Amino acid sequence: MGDQSLKRCLKFLGILPDSFPTEAPKFQTRMMNMQTEENYVFAYEEGMFEPRVEVGDEVEDGQFADYIWNVKQPWKEPTELTFKRGGVVFTKRHPALCQIGDTLFFTLNAYQD
């Protein structure tokens, strides 16, 4: 992938001739950005983080994101968190235990001028 990307870049810059053979890119590039704090899902209590979406998933505003289970009071119902702003899930916390203020998810949105 890196070899073909370099060749396409060299063709674009005019270093290689247009007739030089290259493969088409396997993935389409999308310009994404993050505008506000609404792109984050934070832990509002400590406990065991149980994600319900994966990196790369498309999510909607208000969509269910995860549970936080209280490890000190396991009989309590888990806290349910949602995405304030939808988009593409870019990051997901990997350690299961979380503290107040930890970032659990982060979404990106399509770039707009």
Half-sphere exposure of 74 (CA within 13 A, CB side): 2
Total-model pTM:
0.73
| Among the listed residues 67, 8, 65, the one whose alpha carbon sits nearest the alpha carbon of residue 38 | 65
pLDDT at 50 over 80: yes
pLDDT at 3 over 90: no
Instruction: Give pLDDT, residue 113.
Output: 60
pLDDT digits (tens, 9 = 90+) for 61-79: 999 999 999 999 999 999 9
* Calpha distance 61→38 (Å, rounded): 10
* Calpha distance 51→14 (Å, rounded): 47
pLDDT digits (tens, 9 = 90+) for 19-41: 988 888 887 777 777 778 899 99
Measuring CA to CA, how many Å separate 113 from each of 3, 30, 32, 42, 57?
32, 14, 11, 28, 24
Chain region(s) in the chain for CATH 2.40.50.100: 32-110
Name the CATH code of domain 32-110 (choices 2.60.40.2140, 2.40.50.100, 3.40.50.300, 2.60.40.10): 2.40.50.100
Question: Comparing 29 with 9, which gets the higher pLDDT?
Answer: 9
Mean pLDDT to the nearest integer, 11-19 = 91
Structure tokens at 13: 């810059």
